[in-house]
Every structure is written in structure tokens, then in C-alpha cells.
Structure 1
Amino acid sequence: MNAPRTTERHPLHTFGQPVLDRRQTRVKAAWIGIWLIFLASPVRDLVEGGHGTAATVLGALGLTAFVGCYLALVFRYTTRVHEWRVVYVTFTVLLVLAVALALGMGSAWLGLFVYAAVSAGAVLPMRRAVWAIPAVTVTMMAIGMRDTGAADLFPGLGVTTLLVGFAMTGVRQLIRTTVELRQARATVAQLAANEERLRLARDLHDLLGHSLSLITLKSELAGRMLPAHPDRAARQVADIEQVSRQALVDVREAVTGYRRPTLAGQLAGARTALAAAGVAADVPLEAPGPGPAPDEEREAALAWALREAVTNVVRHSGARHCAVTLTRRQTLAGPVLELAVEDDGMGPAPGAGHGSGHGNGHGNGLTGLTERLEAVGGTLDAGPGSGGRKGFRVAARVPLGPDGGGQPEPAAAASPGVLGSSA
């Protein structure tokens, strides 16, 4: 049996989000701290540069303060800034330390200006960063030209300082755009939930408001008719029973409609589930159109097939990539809509037969899907990946059109309405 696949978020999936726990803090600190390797030149100069004791101690203290200011800027203020005064003061201290250490300790310390440019690109407003980064580069060049000519200094360290600084502005913009997109997604989800609650409230009011009012009125009439007119009261009670039964039927039909999954909803859910599991997904945005569409029962059957297939990919396949395709096919029995879910995981268990799923114990789910699809005139195929590729493929087909056309047969050629691809 294949090992279940965890749906725990990878630490790097929190890109663009503030850290929430110690684990994420360690990951972000490691990601930022790895770039401190470029401080090897100042550290080597401290150890081997032949400076006096006082200069070495002051240089070490200055370097420690510089690293502290740099980490404070890029760790805390890359995503969101609440106190701009703190940012400006910290950046000023960072730049002053870089100038003082480069002037006092020598050209080996010019690399500190690269970190100053990175800090400017990471946290300063864009309109100020575009001036601060060239200013940092010019300051570095002015100090470095005491020992090295501009022709030697600029193509190397000068260009690096400029490029890294402006590259960081792009990374900062990407991070903040990601934050805004996450917030927009949460807002859209909340609005959708509110709209669904309002729709449910309206439907319940329309279904039950009149029936409950009528039941209340007839109950009052029956109460007033007793005991003087028991026959008339009995008729009112019979009407109450009839109205309540009809209300119960209406509620059951409404609940059935709410519970019936839609293909569009399951496509959105598939994208979310696969992304949360760390599986690269290629999922179409919507069902094919224009053209004949499956009715509600057949669409629900495809939606259940998609849910079951994606659940198997997430839990059991160990896949890195999953492709979902929706294809219109013309068969001898009429047009069909085919839903295919294919992954590059471990495939069916050794010795498993056709339609057995990703491993032992998963045949019941596919058997239930087969029965559900057959009830609406559809078919289900499940087995190894197409073309002999590694992985597992599930293909569900339902007939299109009003009559369904009986059991559809697989077709070799697809119409142009293919929405997904396994790119």
C-alpha cells in the first residue's frame, strides 16, 4: 500500500505571509542568514588583516551592529511597515556603519554596501529606493577609489551593488503583491460565503415562510373550533398535516440541491487541495463551452468523480504533478464529456487489477463512482498513466444531450473543446 501523502504546508508556502510560529521563524532566518556568507571578506580581514587590538575590537563591534541592523530591516519590514521612522533610522545607522567601517578598516569592507543596497531595495518606498540605491553605489565607489581605480571597481562590486539593490525592489514588490492577492482571495471567499448564506436564507424564507404562516393560522382556527365543532377542527388538522408534509418535501428537495456538487466548484476545490498538498496542478477553470452540457445529475456524477480522484492523488499517490482535463468527444452513441485526472505518482499497487485505485483498499471508492456514473449512463476507466507513463489515470465519461444516448464508448479523437493539458 502506498504511504499516505501529508497535506501539511511546506514552510516556503508561506511566501508573502508573516511568520506565525517558531518553525517558520527559523526557516525565514535561515533563508535571510545564508546571504551573510558574503561577509567572509570583512571577517577574514578582522582575523588576518594585521589590525591593532583596538581596531579589531571596534571592527567586530561595528560589524555585529551592522548585521543586527540589516537583519532587523529585512526580517521585520519586508512584508509590511508600520513605523517608517524606525525604518529610516535603522537604515541610516546601517549606512553610517558601512561608511565608517569601510573608511576605517579598508577596501575589504566595501561589500557592506551591497547589504545597504539590498536593505534600501527591500524596505524603502519605491520612489526613495530608486535614489537610495545609486547613492549607496556612488558612496561605495568614492570610498573604494582610494585604493582601487574606478575602471576596476565599478564593473565588479559597483555593478553588483546596483543590480542586487534593484533586484530586491522587484522581490519586495512580488512579496507585497502576494500579500495583497492573499488578502483579496480571503475577501472574495468571505463575500462568497456571505452571498451563499443570504441565498440560503432567502430560499428558506420562500420555502417555509408561507407554509409555517398557514400552519400557524390553521392551528389557531382548529383551537377555536374545539370542542364545539370537532369535524371542522379535524379538517383544519388534516390541512395542517398536508401543508407540513409538502413543506418537508420542499425542504428535502432544497437540501438535495445544496448538497449536489457542481463541476465548477469541484474544479476550484481540486486546485486548492492539490496546491495545499504541494502537487503542481494543471486544472481548467471551468467546464467546456459552448455546446451541449450535461444535466445536473450527470454533472454531479462527474463532480463526485473529480473529488474522489483528487483525494486519491493527495492522500495516496505521492505525485509531484497532476493534470485534469475536460474533453468533448463524439462517439457512436453520441457526444460525451470526459473528465480525466492523471498524476505522475506511484501508480496502482503491484498486482492490482483494472480500476483498483492507487493501492489496496481504494477499490470501494472507484466502485462506488462506477455505479454512480452507470446510473446516469456514464462509464469510468482507471489504470496506469496514458502512453505507458508512470502514474495513475482516472477517466469518467457522461453522455451529453437530453437523452444520454446509453452507454458511451471511448473515442480516439477529441473535439477542440479541451480545457486542460498535461504541460
Structure 2
Amino acid sequence: MIKLQKLLQSLSALSLYRLGTHLREGIDRQRLEVRSWSRRCLRYIQEYCDKQDQSELVVNNQYGRLLSISYSTAGVNGEKQDWEICKGLNFIYRFLRELYEGRNDLQPYFQPLPLLARNTEEQIKDKGASEEIEAQMNNKGYDGYIKSNAKGSKATTLIHFINLGVIQPVLNVQTSSMSVPIEYNVIGGLPGVGQDIMLDILSQLRFIQNAVQFVGINKKTLQLKNHARFFKIIETLKYSISIINNDPPEIIFSDIDGVSKKISKKNNKFVTVSLTHVLENGIWQMEAEFSNSKNWAAIGIARDTYNISANIHPCGYPHCYHMVSYGMNDQYNGNGKVFYKGNGKSGNIVYKDNQKIKAEFDSEKGTLIFSVDGVQQPVYVAGINEKVRFFISIEYHQQSCTIHSLKKLHKQTTGLVANEKVVQW
């Protein structure tokens, strides 16, 4: 650890190596190379080391301050080279995102580190570099990558305020209707930033909840709801996924990438798990994928009022009177039948492991339509006139289901297909 501390101190010092005058351009080029490679080494340490090393970077080596200097165009230490600016913005964007969301795609993994993220942002703020990020949003250099990285950095910074509860929500996420708040919460950011850039920032967010609160920053952001791009962007965002765990000793519920979730089994017994989100007022879509299923899995909807107990199959009595399911080739849902009230209707394909299954529920039309790897299936459910929840059902040891996304759509993604058959709710 002591050796690492000394290495970080040396690299930090070298990354701030001062340039001279234009009369010493050859030496300056060499110094610039030293600075550039020192910063790159710091980035590699940050990217491949554990959470203790992240703390060492931020607390004792002022990593946020170093990165802010690398993309600042002001002062004697400022880099005017587009490549250095682009790299600095990219590093800070990825670093902040990992601190806020945790590292899930590269070992060593670690959980979110919000205190370190806050410390990093304070270092950036102390250098006056927050305004520089906004200025770089208009920089079209390096084939537009500077602008893109600046927007990503700004979006990640705004999530910091959202997570602290500084921004108050003004968007009803169930109906996507807007209401004007009594007092606007102004963060003091985004001065002079145009609507297009703010919409680009909005598109960088991952969750609908964050977008809801971003729109409520001030009067200027509230006007984004009137822009033609607004609802298209909203449709790309995700709702956070959580489940009603009716059998905790049997179910392992884990995060994959901050959006997708994985439901895994420990033993050979039925597990039917519903999402907590109640479906009403619009079009909702869930995408799931099964693994190690042995042809025994199902997806569907259940009445919101129905309590799904442990160790049940959705096709068993009396559950099948409250749940409709589309399954694999097991004894209930054989040949891909859609099963409800003791009867199965065939016509849909028999899906298998590692295929993406979408269930799309339209509360206005009262329909539930399934798709497999983007292909709409002909057997669907109609006449649904109540609140429901999505569910999945698995049985075997080490079997799993990945819930890739839960979305609210502005319009249907389904239409008419040949050989349609209806299951009446």
C-alpha cells in the first residue's frame, strides 16, 4: 500500500508538470507527453484497482482536481489540445459514473461510493471547472467527442443532485403529465445552455426517475416537455426493477449493470415472482431472458390484488384464475401455449433459453401481447380491465431469469399479425 501511495504521488505530480514558453517548444512537447502518460497511468490504476485504491486517488491525491485541470482551457496548466481535453472529460465521466453506480462489468467489482463521488465533485467545483464542462458542450473538436463527453459529465453531475434529493419532481411518471411547481428549484447550473444540449443531457440519463427530477430543475428545463424530442427520449429510459420476494431462502435477486436484474434459484421447486411495479395508465413493456431452464419457465401478468405465495406454478389451481402465462414446453404451457383459467391456447412459438421475451401490456386497450426476439406472437390476451403486475416463473436449481428492462412506452410497438388468436381475460 505504501508503494502504491508513493507511485500515485509521483504520477500526480508529473501529471501537473508545467509547460514553459513557446521558445522551448521541443522541451514542452516532451513535458506534455510526460503529463499525458502520467494521467493515463492514473486512469489505469483507477480502472483496474479496488475501492480502497479509489479512495486513495480521491482523498489523498485529489484525482478530481487533476482531471479538471486536464480539460480546463484556462490558466497556465490548461490543455488546449483537443485530444487532452477529450481524454480528461472522458476520464471524469467514467470515473464519476463508476463511483455513483458501482462497478459491475469489470473486476474488481465494488458497490456505489457516493461519498467519494461527492468529494470528487467538490474538487472539480473548487477549481471552477464545472463552468468549463458547460463551455465544452459547444466544443465540436475531435469529431464531436469533446461535446459528447462534456454532456456525459454534466449528466452524471446532475444525478448527484438528484440522488441527494435537491431537485424536486414535477412530472407524474404514471401519466407523463406535467404540473408547474409552486417554487422552482434552481441549482445555479446550466447558464446559457440551449434546449438541444439539455435534451442531449436528458438522453444520457438511464432511469425515468432521474429524468423526472432533471426536468424539475428550473423553468428552463421544465419547457423541455414541449419539445418534439422529449417523449422519444423518455421512451428510451428505464424504470428501476424490484420484485416481491415471496420465498427469500430460495430466491437470489442480484444487480447486473445498474439497470438489468437477475432472479436465480437455489433448489428444485417452483418460484413465481412478480415485479413490484403496478401497471396502469399507459403501455408497459418488460423484456426477460431465461437460462438453464430445461424447458420449464413462464412469463405473464397477475392481478395486482392477488397474493402470489411461495412454491406455486401460475398454471396451477387456483392461481390460473388470477394469472395468465406464456411458457416454454413444460407440462402446463406445452408447445408455447398461453394458459389461463385451466385452458391453454396454442399458436405461439416455443421459446427457449437465451431468447429475449417481451410482454407488452396496454391498459387502455386491455391487451397483453408477447414477442420473441423481436417477432410478435399471434396469441394474445384481451379484455384486461384492472391493475396488473408482470411476473416470471422458474423451477430448477441454478435456473435464472434476467429482467433486461421495464419501460413505459409512448405508443404501441405491436400491430396486426397473421393467425391471431385471443385469450379472454
Classify the TM-score, shorter chain: 0.3 to 0.5
Higher relative contact order (CA 8 A, sep 6+): 1
Structure with more of its chain in strand, by fraction: 2
Normalized against structure 2, the TM-score is what? 0.33
Rg larger in structure = 1
